[in-house]
Structure 1
Amino acid sequence: MEQMKWIVLSVAVIMYVLVIVFQKKKVWFTTGAAVLIVITGCIFPGAIFSLPETSSSSKLFLHTYALTHTALEIINWNVILIYLGSMIIAALFIYSKVPARIADAIVASFKNTGLAMTAILVMTGIISMFVENVATVLVMAPVALAMCRKLEINPATFMIGLAVMSNLEGTATLVGDPPSMIFASYAGYTFIDFFFHQGKFSIFWIVQAGLLTGCIYFFIRFSSCGKNSLRPEKMQVVSYVPLWLLLAMIFGLAALSFIPNCPPFSGGIFVLATGLFGLVWYCFRKKDADASAISLVKELDWETIFFLPGIFTVIGAIQETGLLNDFAQVLSGITGGSKLAGFIMIIAVSVIISGFVDNVPYIMAMLPVVREMVLSMNASPELFMFALLTGSCLGGNLTPFGASANIVAMGIVRKQGYEMKFSKWLTTGVPFTILTTAAAAAVLWLIWA
């Protein structure tokens, strides 16, 4: 078993290095690592994935257990189904032009440009609670660019604001971003638990402390833009059906939260069914139904969909071999058993790593580690797990490569003919990340310490 630990660790480390260096090929590396682990588990039954005590003694069962265990128990299909369904609904929401219409109303409501621009960022955050971050940036980018053209200013800072606000608020709800879905699955959280848990304010309200701080930060940055002379061009809404689908998804997940002993995958099946219903509606609405539906489906974030099963498998193997327990003991030793030191370390390390590394594999690897740290320090599980979720999601705002939404925002700015340097991002992203993370961490400590 000890030798197998080193084999699994080596595979995981090599996979992570390759994913970091070759971002565009990350699905190939995670899938390859997962296949290698499953094959090894089939050749050496019980060496990676512990066999159940009541297991059959037949050779066929023993040599196929790694495969069936991975497919049925290690890979979290509920998360994958929720993500797929929510992406379809998000794409339809963009098509409906409802977000742009709401943004026009916001612009018309403020006399000061700085307030209007900050309100657009708040609107971006609200959408991102329920729509994937990249989709949110694509929804709001035309509004932001139109404002900047009328004001004759460089759109770079505003576009950075869209990305970082999207990443910030994507943490607030179960359907906002894959890390939140993964956290909910691991911790057994329902949609409602993101708002209130054990009679206390949960992660949603903790993130809002970061939102308030971020709004103040950007208002100060935009206050020099002067009076609002904008005349919003009222966007014609295509249809309100996608809005109703989005609301149905939100309230449906909330309703499922109250059902005791809810069947497995119920949330994922519900969200995917809602998305597929929307896709059928979209086909009936469009004249070139087949081509339109195929185009919409092709533009979904399939890379993340195929990325998740491999990561689930590798992290599952790491956990079942006992490597995470060993790592948790090392971290506990570094902090000297101090709850405050452990709290600060989790947030700081998460922010730094997530500024350069995809936060999906990071949070999947660290959630079990944090759980072990909680047991060794006799701390509240929520204190450390919320710290991990906050640090890893907000840390993605640190650099232009910390999140997919950041890369998309940079690309949009460049297409408009403006230069977007790494240093330009840092001048906005670093102070925003420090301020919002500090505010959220302070509220988290006050509530859950």
Structure 2
Amino acid sequence: MLAAQIFAVIIFIGMFVMIVLDKIERHYVTLGSGILTLTVVFGICMGNLNAILNTLAFKDFFTRDFWYQLEESESAGINWATILFIAGMMVMVEGMAKAGFFRWLCMKIAFLVKCKTIPIFITFTIMAAVLSMFIDSITVIMFLAAVTVELAQLLDFNPLPMILSEIFCANLGGSATMCGDPPNIIIGTSLGLSFFDFLTNTGIAAGIGLVVAIVFLYFAFRKELVSKKAEKIDISKLPDPSEAITNKKDFIISSVIFACAVILLVTHGTTHLTVATIGLFIGALTLLTAGKHALELLKKVDYKTLVFFIGLFIVVSGLEETQILDKIAMFIESISGGNKRLMIAIILWVSAIASAFVDNIPFAATMVPVIKNLSAASGMPITTLAWALAIGTDIGGSATPIGASANVVGTSVAAKSGHPVTWGRYCKKLAPATVIILLVSTIYLFIIYL
């Protein structure tokens, strides 16, 4: 097991370094690292065929819980539900774009804020946070990033500052509710917490953090947001928003499909339909209504991002199967002792730091039993530790381009439109913002719960 643990860590660190160096396309890096994990860690070191099969997780497709889930279960290996969901949303977004939905929305916003980039920036960041409270942040970023690119082309400004700010605020907004981010679903269902439990606890922290974040991001990006062309735009000369609609029938259909996606995602806790079912249904519905254009939509799907996720899930599974994540959890438990402030700070900050590099879904699942034990041993209310874990895993993921699914999707949309995001560019702005919001959240937890 020791050899397997060493190689699992080496492969993970090597993958991370390669992604940071950005010399090879990241989907090749994660896929190659995933293959190494399967062959070296599981095959040679462990000789465990079951570990390989569990990681590939093909059997999940044939279980009821994959499509219709009455109780939240911890996923292992490749999270095919996430892959299917993202793929379905990508197809839907391409269908909406083809119908002119995003350009129509761009023009509407341009008219409302008189084509001023700063008001657009503020509006979009708030929209990202609010939508992510009820809709998966991946969907929100796919939608807003596409709109931002369209608007940037129209008004001649750099879309990267807005896309990065949208990513950050989407992750922040996702921490506010139980359905806003996958870790919250795991924490909430495992501990019997409701939508309104999150809203009245992490929701308040997220609201405070949003105000601070918008102020910080505005000053961080204000010089890049200035667009001389945008300041001189004559609104009367802009085309009417309705002219952006390429086909009224397709526009109506794509709008209805988007509304269905929103309703299904908001109510999936009640309907028990999984994100895999929702993603597959929405994608299939888009293709069916697209008719002869279905193949065109399929060709536009960003398959590189999907491959990136598959490789990343395999490498993280290597850390899970070799019990590296368990060791991290045990370390937190051992050093916290009986100091309640230290306990909250450790849970929040370690979760945040880990989530910046490791997928926050398996980390949250690993940490839930840890906070249960900490609560029983120390007398600390389990809910207090739950809020610290939720805030840490949700917000900490904003610090790096691979820390959360929304980050990967948002930067991919930017790169696809000709605006690649380097690690240095991303971390220079959003890592400090993440630290500031985590500090604000720590103070909030200390004041309210101790």
Normalising by the residue count of structure 2, what TM-score does the alignment of the two structures yield? 0.70
Instruction: Kindly indicate whether the alpha-carbon contact (under 8 Å) linking 1:144 and 1:159 is maintained by their aligned counterparts in 2.
Output: no
Partner of 1:51: none
Match of 1:314 in 2: 318
Which of 68-77 and 335-344 deviates more? 68-77
Q: Distance in 1 between matches of 2:340 and 2:160?
A: 40
Deviations 1:342-398 (A, max 9, x none): 32233334444555x3x42x5524541453144124444554454344334434444
Aligned residue number for residue 215 of structure 2: 216
Change (3 A) 1:251 1:350: same
Structure-1 residue corresponding to 2:87: 84
Distance in 2, matches of 1:138 and 1:435, equals 28
Pairs aligned (count): 400
Q: What is the Cα deviation at residue 118 of structure 1?
A: 1.2
Offset at residue 316 of structure 1 (A) = 4.3
Contact 2:4 2:42 (8 Å CA) reproduced: no
Distance 1:437 1:244, change over 3 A: farther
Q: Which segments of 5 or more consecutive residues in structure 1 lack a partner in the other structure? A: 45-63
2:33: which partner in 1? 29
Confirm whether residue 251 of structure 1 aligns to residue 255 of structure 2. Answer: no
Distance 2:409 2:257 in 1: 23
Aligned residue in 2 for 1:302? 306
Displacement of 1:19 after TM fit? Answer: 1.7
Post-superposition offset of 1:10: 2.0
Residue equivalent to 1:108 = 111
Match of 1:54 in 2: none
The residue that corresponds to 2:395 in the other structure is: 394
Conserved? CA contact 2:34–2:311, under 8 Å: yes
CA distance in 2: counterparts of 1:312 and 1:119, whole angstroms: 36
Match of 1:15 in 2: 11
TM-score by length of 1: 0.70
Q: Measure the CA separation in 2 of the matches of 1:81 and 1:412.
A: 20
Q: CA deviation at 1:425?
A: 5.6
Q: How does 1:20-169 map to 2 (within 5 A)?
A: 20-23=16-19, 24=26, 25-34=29-38, 36=40, 38-39=42-43, 43=47, 71=57, 72=59, 74-75=76-77, 76-110=79-113, 114-126=118-130, 129-130=135-136, 131=139, 133=141, 136-149=144-157, 157-169=161-173
1:240 aligns with 2:252: yes
AA aligned opposite 1:19: M
Task: Name 2:68's counterpart in structure 1.
Answer: none
Distance in structure 1 (CA, Å) of the matches to 2:304 and 2:179: 16
Q: Distance in 2 between matches of 1:37 and 1:425?
A: 31
Distance 1:396 1:145, change over 3 A: farther
Distance (whole Å) between structure 2 residues aligned to residue 38 and residue 335 of structure 1 = 33
Q: CA deviation at 1:440?
A: 4.4
Distance 1:43 1:250, change over 3 A: same
Distance, in Å, in 1 between the alignment partners of 2:149 and 2:204 is 26
Identical positions, percent: 17
- Contact 1:398 1:430 survives alignment (8 Å): yes
2:332 and 2:346 in contact (8 A); partners too: no
Evaluate the alpha carbon distance shift between residue 113 and residue 369 of structure 1 in structure 2; reply closer, same or farther with a 3 A threshold: closer
The 8 Å contact of residues 91 and 297 in structure 2, kept in 1 or not, is answered as no
Q: Equivalents in 2 of 1:141, 1:125: separation in Å?
A: 19
Structure 1, residues 77-99: CA drift from partner, whole Å, max 9, x if none?
A: 44443333333333334444434
State the alpha-carbon separation in 1 of the partners of residues 177 and 89 from structure 2: 13
Aligned partners of 2:368 and 2:201: how far apart in 1?
Answer: 18
Q: For residues 351 and 322 of structure 2, what CA distance do their matches in structure 1 show?
A: 19
Partner of 2:301, secondary structure, is: helix
Per the alignment, in what secondary structure is the counterpart of residue 245 of structure 2? coil
The letter for the 2-side match of 1:107 is A
Distance 1:300 1:240 in 2: 30
Contact 1:31–1:309 (CA under 8 A) maintained in structure 2: no
Unaligned stretches of 5+ residues in structure 2: 20-25, 60-74
| CA separation of 1:194 and 1:162: change in aligned 2, threshold 3 A | farther
CA RMSD in angstroms comes to 4.4
